[in-house]
Amino acid sequence: MKRINGKKGKKRPKDKSRKQHHWSPDNMKTMIARTKDLLDPLCDAEGMELVHIECQREAGGRILRLYIDKPGGVTLDDCIHISRQSSDMLDVYLEDTGPFNLEVSSPGLNRPLGKKRDFDRFKGNRVNIRTTPSVGGKKKINGVLLGISEDVVKVSMDDQIVEIPYQDIVTARLADNISKEIKF
């Protein structure tokens, strides 16, 4: 006999009728796409923008994180409202994905850039971009965003312009754009 939780007993056989939910990278991409299709119209109807969706495993379990924004910024009440509506929709349409925790947040200072229009909208801001494959021998590009043209994002870095194919961008975020100088 094997010890289970410090007690002697038989090990229970796995219940094969119970569906196992695995969050592989492909499953996560599918879940993000399905979530976007479901929640983009909801956010638009509420006068908000669904900025970004993250899906990841963390110590507390699986997390589906939504970033929302609107002109003038979002409030806690906005996040609660979208969370409640999103939760109901996701429970119905994503029931086959297994359990997850839903978080709704404002994008914050290090806002993710995911949509092509974001790369023009935040022109002139500092950005951190991660790519695959590498661009000019680098996978991490930090510089000033110059915009996007014909699916190529341009960033000024070390007195040169780096051109990054949009499809090669894994993640892109605004960098800390607050001056760190302290004046007395």
Helix H or strand E encompassing 106: none
Give me the CATH number covering residue 157. 2.30.30.100
25-31: long-range contacts, CB 8 A cutoff, minimum separation 24: 27/97, 28/55, 28/56, 31/55, 31/64, 31/94, 31/97
pLDDT value at residue 7: 44
pLDDT value at residue 155: 96
Residue listed under structure tokens 């509506």: 85
Mark whether 120 and 74 lie in a shared domain: no
Prediction pTM value: 0.74
Q: How far apart are the first and last CA of the chain?
A: 72
Structural domain of residue 40, as residue ranges? 25-105
Residue 179 in any domain: the answer is no
**Domain total in the chain:** 2
SS3 141: strand
Mark whether 92 and 123 lie in a shared domain: no
pLDDT at 4 over 50: no
**Predicted confidence (pLDDT) per residue in 38-59, tens digit:** 999 999 999 999 999 998 888 8
Boundary residue ending a domain (81, 105, 129): 105
Confidence band of 60 (pLDDT split at 50, 70, 90): confident
Mark whether 99 and 137 lie in a shared domain: no
Mark whether 101 and 30 lie in a shared domain: yes
Pairing state between β 160-165 and 126-135 = unpaired
Residue 147 in any domain: the answer is yes
pLDDT value at residue 68: 96
Instruction: Give percent of the chain above pLDDT 70.
Output: 83
